[in-house]
Amino acid sequence: MPTKQIKQDPLSVLDHAFRAAIARALDEEGDFDPVIRAAQNPKFGDYQCNAAMALGKSRGIKPRELAERILAQVELGEVVEAMEIAGPGFINITLGRRVLGEAVAEMDDDRLGIPRQGNGHVITVDLCGVNVAKQMHVGHLRATIIGDSIANLHERLGWTVHRENHLGDWGLPIAMTMTALENSGADLEQLTLDALNVAYRDAQLSGRSDVKGLAGAIAHGCGPHRIAELETQNEGAIENISRAKETLIALQSGDSALVANWNALIDCTMREVFDTLGLLNVGIGPEHNRGESFYKDKLAGVVEQFIESGTAVEDNGAIVVRFEDRERPLLIRKSDGGFLYATTDLAAIRHRVHDLKSERVVYVVDARQKDHFKDVFDGSRRIGWDRTPDGIESDLHHLPFGSVLGRDKKPLKTRSGENFTLRALLEEAIERGTREVVARAEDPNAPTHGIPPEELESIGRAVGISAVKYADLSSGVTRDYIFDLDRMIAFEGNTGPYIQYAHARISSILMKAEKQEIQWQDARILLDTSEEKQLGLAIMRYPQVVQETADQLEPHRLCTYLYDLANTYSTFYQGCPVLKNDDEGVRASRLRICSMTRRILADGLALLGIESPSRM
């Protein structure tokens, strides 16, 4: 039965129809890629089927002859306006304008044509991953905003989403920090995160021994002063670690005073974390925190189950999981009985898959943890912890990300040579964004001219945060990228502010139309010009792009689409007068197309966690 109406991305419709046509034309069973691509020049059509060349050659058929056979078998009805063979066997395809216009209008609903295909599906996204007593740094930027966009996309598709901020809130480092603070007499109720961060670093240094250095000093006769210095360092480190272990045991036993102090450290850390996340426009709150401490009582059971199942074995007192395809084992309990990050991660996987019933678990963690997650995932599969209670095999996925670099192509640092805190980076971006917005508002013709300073500051904040987030997400998750605020803040080029500005321009047009009381909401969409049709085609791609971006866990796909849509709209705006058009039907049609473009830009930016000001 010929297709009468486009119900999805035109490329998908054509792909399906031509696959079936090729099979019939060849009289063969199989799934043949029709190699359909967008046409390079709109005057030759909207799409092109390029399959005939390769298929004809492999079967001894002239490509143009095979193209004719394929055309004879294609069933697309009114979806296409024209199809013709060009050159040695290319099939040029021109979509029907009326049907395409009706299909675009069908998307003009609350969901913008995006199907709610995720009903019943559950995903857990491990994101942010801050450590108690430590400042958020640039690495947390990537772990947070990439994870948040993945969560947003799945929510948009109707999935049940669990955001999990896996806090580093347990173990010896925390106990060492608590011991150091107690020894210094610090008031934990008045503690700032900066002071807590210093205490954390000092505690780590106080527990650092140098046994090899002492042995070397003795062997090389470095002198009594140096030897005595190293002996003192080692004795002090041993004593400090011993005290910290005592603190940890007491904390694990539920000592009320220590538990209160531990909670004070967490509160001190998370106050600033949540404030920073608020600047980032990321929806992570206390309800999303599930730290290492949550799993502390489950670790012994993890090891026992691995041993009982025969998945783990003893090795010189330690418990390990061995794999045939790699030399390194997965260590899940040390010879002294201590547990490791791997043990906690195994417990977390079991909780996320079995208790939360997640059929997809995505870990947004930097690329250096690649081997760790491979081992932990394979260990989970060996014991069967990768299956939900319903027997669904969960997709355990490590989404590694690259580094944020300075202009010198080295890890981003401040002018003093220290690592950037995330807070400082965001404040600088907001300051730059606000400066740009205020400067533009000085132009009497600017839409923002004369608006209150607090509104300009709000827009500047949105621009600055957009610049940082879009630059990160558009670069590709696994790639390193250079942090350059001059480029990021620009209102031109492939930047967040450029897309925000496109949204604001359309908002201005629609506000003027509302003041003139022009009705467009139910107008018939006309795609009579090339610019109108190209914008309609771009609009039609949105649901498919959202689906593909979520499936592939690649936010840059959505960024690329939004940039292309903004450019396509710019071409439409220059070639197709909207408010100045004298034909009421054309004017209303174009306003409706403008409205849909604006809604898609706003929706797409929201999926990336970026605001869309109506004036800029």
pLDDT averaged per 10 residues, the chain (length 616): 57 92 94 92 90 94 96 92 94 94 94 90 96 86 97 97 94 82 80 83 63 54 54 56 79 86 90 93 93 93 97 96 95 91 97 98 95 98 97 97 88 63 92 96 94 96 97 93 90 96 97 96 95 95 95 98 98 96 96 98 98 96
**CA atoms within 13 Å, Cβ hemisphere of 372:** 16
Tell me, what's the pLDDT at 119? Answer: 85
Contacts 24+ apart (CB under 8 A), 201-209: 203/173, 203/176, 203/177, 203/179, 203/240, 203/244, 204/173, 204/176, 206/176, 206/180, 206/236, 206/237, 206/240, 207/176, 207/237, 207/240, 207/241, 207/244, 208/233, 208/237, 209/233, 209/234, 209/237, 209/238
Tell me, what's the pLDDT at 220? Answer: 58
Which fold would CATH assign to domain 422-607?
Isoleucyl-tRNA Synthetase; Domain 1 (1.10.730)
Tell me, what's the pLDDT at 560? Answer: 98
pTM of the model: 0.89
**Would residue 158 be called left, alpha or beta, if left means φ above 0 and alpha means ψ between -120 and 50 degrees?**
left
The DSSP-derived string for 505-551 is HHHHHHHHHHHTT---TTPPP---SHHHHHHHHHHHTHHHHHHHHHH
Tell me, what's the pLDDT at 78? Answer: 86
Give the list of residues 6+ apart from residue 559 with CB closer than 8 angstroms, or none. 470, 473, 474, 494, 608
CATH of domain 10-95: 3.30.1360.70
Tell me, what's the pLDDT at 1? Answer: 34
Question: What's the angle, vertex CA 76, arms to CA 75 and CA 79, rounded to 5?
Answer: 175
Q: Return the domain boundaries, the chain.
A: 10-95, 171-253, 422-607
Tell me, what's the pLDDT at 182? Answer: 78
Tell me, what's the pLDDT at 221? Answer: 57
What are the tens digits of pLDDT across the range 95-130?
999 999 999 999 999 999 999 988 889 999 999 999
